[in-house]
Structure 1
Amino acid sequence: ETPFVMKRVDKGFDDDHHLEYEGFLIDVLLEIVKLLDFTFIISPVPDGKFGSLKGKQWTGMIRQLVHKEADIALAPFQMTTDRAEVVDFTKPFMTKGTTVVVRRPEPKIWMFQFLSPFSNTVWCAIFVAFISASLTLFTVSRVNSDRHARSTQNLRESFWYMWGTLLRGSLCG
Structure 2
Amino acid sequence: MIEETLRQVKRSDPARGRWDVKGDENSLWVDASSLALGAVLEVNGDVIEDACWLRRDECSHINLAELDAVIKGLNLAIAWKISKLTIMTDSRTMYYWVKDTLSKKARVKTEASSEMLIRRRLETLRAIVEEYGLSLDIRFMSSAENKADARTRVPKRWLGPERDQLACGAAVAITE
Could you tell me the TM-score, scaled by structure 1's length?
Answer: 0.19
Flag the structure with more relative contact order, 1 or 2, with Cα contacts below 8 A and sequence separation at least 6: 2
Specify which structure has the higher proportion of strand.
2
Q: Which has the larger radius of gyration?
A: 1
Could you tell me the TM-score, scaled by structure 2's length?
Answer: 0.18
